[in-house]
A = this chain, B = another copy of it.
Amino acid sequence: MTDRQPLKELGQQLRVDAVRAADAAGSGHPTSSMSAADLMAVLASEHLQYDFDSPEHSGNDHLIFSKGHASLLLYSLYKACGVVSDDELLRYRRLGSPLEGHPTPRLPWVDVATGSLGQGLPIGAGVALAGAELDRLPYRVWVLCGDSELAEGSVWEAMEYAGQAGLANLTAILDINRLGQRGPTRHGWDLDAYRRRVEAFGWHTVEIDGHDVDEIDSAYRQAREETDRPTAIIARTVKGAGVSAVADQEGAHGKPLSDAEQAIAELGGRRDLRIEVSRPESGGVRQRERPGGRQVELPTFAVGEEVATRDAFGQAVSAIGGARPDTVVLDGEVADSTRAKFFAEQHPDRFFEFYIAEQQMVAAAVGLQVRGWTPYAATFAAFLARAYDFIRMAAVSRADINLVGSHAGVSIGEDGPSQMGLEDIAALRAVHNSVVLHPSDANSAARLTAGMAEHDGVSYLRTLRGKTPVLYGPEEGFEIGGSKVLRSSSNDRVTVVGAGVTVHEALAAADALAGEGIGVRVVDAYSIKPVDAPTLRAAAAETGHVITVEDHWPEGGLGDAVLDAFADTRSTPRTMKLAATGMPASATPQEQLREAGIDAGAIEAAVRGILRQEREPAAAGS
């Protein structure tokens, strides 16, 4: 770098365009964009390697705006790179514009959605992991972080993970502009406070003036030369830099400048500089074009054999890993419990341990799928709650990830409620475009483990701790959106819909009642989202009454999914929901099911109650 003036001019141009676009939109975060303008001007001009004609070029660097509210800066940068027109920029935040308030992959150069702070760095660590361990390509991952978001624990999960993994291809650019949304940040401009923390986690750090293009350039150079550790560039910057009315002022967050014209004049007016971004020197294959792999030979289990669905998952994902080289498995230090260990034993090079850091685990899954890998991330169903914001955002990122939650429900037994997934179905159903699967036996679990990867979006498989008898032959098919009718006769008077362990309780109840001549239809609703509405409606129409039974809280789970299938139909059946209601404590699995009122006895009682009511006249108010 010889002439620094063009870079300074470019920084000013990015500021001007941020101010202009915010002004046109009437909203946005120009001051948060202005602090990092010089950092991005130097990065794009001198260090980034990216082929804008081919966003999926396998050698491309990845630039992630963890501070997604600085979208104005990102889009102004894209304009300078020639891929966004000025007209498009001025349609920022308008209906139909892909230039959203916070970046999403509706733009081909955006890998993941950001805007929920503290997510870009852990996701970037996942992309860097792909580069270092899987793609084995020299692309770099650059993550622009705000200072406020460094309060998020997820950032420190990423610092720990990337530091220990020695991800030298990862650079965090910390835009320390001193001011958060409502006032000063915890550490203000105390760059050393950040340095001490980041260094303690094993990172290389460089402290710079974030508006000095020479210092910025030198820092990137050091980051690129570092071979053993990730680098954090700790940049002292000024929020709203370049415009005296807002520079380093409180109360100027998240709104257009009151006098845009004056600000643009102070910034030196409009410019039309173009950045020629370097193209990557290596790579070239499109990320998604991986060898397809062999046909998967899934494990099979004999009908009647007792096998936990978590075991079936573990064996299946291991088999899938053998056939499909794009399969990777992520663990939160419970692989022995989730049975992800079976994959680890067979494919140690594609198994990644994140220790007890579920946010980083899910973030890494999102990062790996950016590079075309097919991740399965497994922990206890209960502990996916720890990563719920990452799962929510994965949907905004249009990410294809497979989540597996073991130890579902009260049926785990003695360990008690802290370990029981009892809200996971509700949480995962409420993720945009998600799939929620809860098999009751080993063969269906194995099939669905393979099937879930075919779904575009967030897929969730809920598995059981305890063994259940195998119900289905190995040849049986299981589709997303399907179900199985396990008991059916022409004189069925009630339909019982279960999933997972409650299918077996339903079968026991049905068999007991059949002995008394009471016909009960049993449906295994292994696909809870989408639920098999046609089958459920047909069963309801034929039997009149429906009972749902689930090892989950009553809200948002299987029962609600079934009610939804009946909602907008002409003959809505009377439906009774059985679910866990009281807070469980310790007990054996069978005691837990009984105490929760979701065992065979409770189902039998519910069926009898319905048939008794049928014989009685309607009471007032019911």
Residue pair A116, B383 in contact (C-beta under 8 Å): yes
* Chain B residues closer than 8 Å to A300, beta-carbon distance: none
CA distance A117 to B534 in the complex (A): 42
Query: Could you say which of A89-97, A237-245, A364-372, A484-492 contacts chain B?
Result: A89-97
Do A567 and B556 form a contact, CB below 8 Å, given A151-B356, A393-B418, A427-B426?
Answer: no
Q: Does A1 contact B (CB under 8 A)?
A: no
- A114 interface residue (CB < 8 Å to B): yes
Question: A341-B182, A355-B186, A385-B392 in contact; A585/B152 too (CB < 8 A)?
Answer: no
Per-residue CB proximity of A357-382 to B under 8 Å, as 1/0? 10110000000000000000000001
Indicate whether A383 sits within 8 Å of B389 (C-beta atoms), given known contacts A160-B186, A418-B114: yes
Contact residues of A between 91 and 115, Cβ < 8 Å to B: 92-102, 104, 106, 113-115
Contact A537 B396 (CB under 8 A): no
A502 on interface, CB distance cutoff 8 Å: no
Q: In the assembly, what is the distance between CA of A114 and CA of B415, in Å? A: 12
Known A427-B427, A569-B622, A574-B568; contact A418-B356, beta-carbon cutoff 8 A: no
The segment out of A129-137, A220-228, A332-340 that lies at the interface is A332-340
Any B CB within 8 A of the CB of A260: no
Find out whether the CB atom of A153 lies under 8 angstroms from the CB atom of B359.
yes
Q: How far is the CA of A28 from the CA of B416 in the complex (A)?
A: 11
From A206-214, A287-295, A587-595, the one touching the partner chain is A587-595
- A106 near B386 with CB under 8 A, answer no
Chain B CB within 10 A, most for which of A27, A180, A586: A586
Among A163-201, those with CB < 8 Å from B are 164, 180-182, 185-186, 196-197, 199-201
**Is A279 located at the chain interface by the 8 A CB criterion?**
no
The yes or no answer to A554 lying at the interface (CB within 8 A) is yes
> Once the chains bind, are B94 and A356 in contact (CB under 8 Å)?
no
Q: How far is the CA of A41 from the CA of B117 in the complex (A)?
A: 42
At the interface with chain B, which of A55-63, A316-324, A429-437, A468-476? A429-437
How many copies of the shown chain assemble into the complex? 2
| Given known A117-B356, A148-B355, A556-B430, contact A570–B396 (CB-CB < 8 A) | no
Which residues of the other chain, B, contact A414 by a CB distance below 8 angstroms?
A: 25, 27-28, 93, 101
Pick the contact of A186 from B164, B395, B585 — CB < 8 Å? B164
Q: Which of B94, B197, B427, B574 contacts A423 (CB 8 A)?
A: B427
Cβ of A410 to closest chain B Cβ, rounded Å: 12
Instruction: List, in ascending order, chain B residues with CB within 8 A of A591's CB.
Output: 95
Partner of A417, one of B154, B396, B534: B396
Asked if A432 meets B553 with Cβ closer than 8 Å, knowing A102-B415, A414-B101, A418-B115, the reply is yes
How far is it, in angstroms, between the C-alpha of A197 and the C-alpha of B203 when the chains are bound?
12
Are A416 and B101 in contact (CB-based, < 8 A)?
A: yes
Whether, in the assembled complex, A78 has its beta carbon less than 8 Å from a beta carbon of chain B, the answer is no
- Which stretch from A307-315, A439-447, A575-583 is at the chain B interface? A575-583
- A621 at the A/B interface (Cβ < 8 Å)? yes
A82 at the interface (CB under 8 A from B): no
Kindly provide the distance from the CB of A337 to the nearest chain B CB, expressed in whole angstroms: 7
Q: Which residues of B contact A92 (CB under 8 A)?
A: 586
Knowing A95-B595, A556-B430, say if A418 contacts B116 (CB, 8 Å). Answer: yes
| Structural contact, A333 and B572, CB atoms closer than 8 A | no
Interface membership of A306, Cβ < 8 A: no
Q: Does A529 contact B (CB under 8 A)?
A: yes
CB of A563 within 8 A of chain B?
Answer: yes
In the assembled complex, the Cα of A333 lies from the Cα of B149 at a distance in Å of 10
> Residue of B at shortest CB range from A574?
B572
Q: Given A389-B385, A555-B429, A396–B423 Cβ distance below 8 Å?
A: no
User: Is the beta-carbon distance between B152 and A113 smaller than 8 angstroms?
Assistant: no
Those of A400-415 within 8 Å (CB) of chain B: 413-415
**Other-chain residue from B98, B430, B577 in contact with A557 (beta carbon distance below 8 A):** B430
* Cα distance A393–B388 in the bound complex, in angstroms: 14
Whether, in the assembled complex, A573 has its beta carbon less than 8 Å from a beta carbon of chain B, the answer is yes
Chain B residues with Cβ below 8 Å from A341 are 182
Complex partner residue of A430 from B97, B115, B164, B555, CB under 8 angstroms: B555
> In the complex, which of the residues B104, B149, B537, B622 contacts A585, with contact meaning CB atoms closer than 8 Å?
B104
* Of the residues B157, B335, B586, contact of A101 by C-beta under 8 Å: B586
A415 touches B101 (CB 8 A): yes
Answer yes or no: A142 CB below 8 A from chain B CBs: no
For A523, the chain B residues whose CB sits under 8 A away are none
- A554-B426 Cα distance, complex, nearest whole Å: 11
User: A460 contacts the other chain (Cβ, under 8 Å)?
Assistant: no
Residues of B within 8 A of A155 (CB): 153
Residues in B neighbouring A417, C-beta threshold 8 A: 104, 113, 115, 396
Query: B102 to A335, Cβ gap below 8 A?
Result: no
Q: How far is the CB of A149 from chain B (nearest CB, A)?
A: 6
List the 8 closest A-B pairs by CB distance, nearest first. A153-B153, A115-B418, A556-B556, A426-B430, A156-B156, A423-B430, A151-B355, A200-B200
15 A-B pairs, CB-CB below 8 angstroms? A94-B587, A95-B586, A104-B418, A151-B356, A181-B333, A181-B336, A386-B388, A395-B583, A426-B556, A431-B553, A432-B553, A559-B564, A563-B564, A567-B575, A572-B573
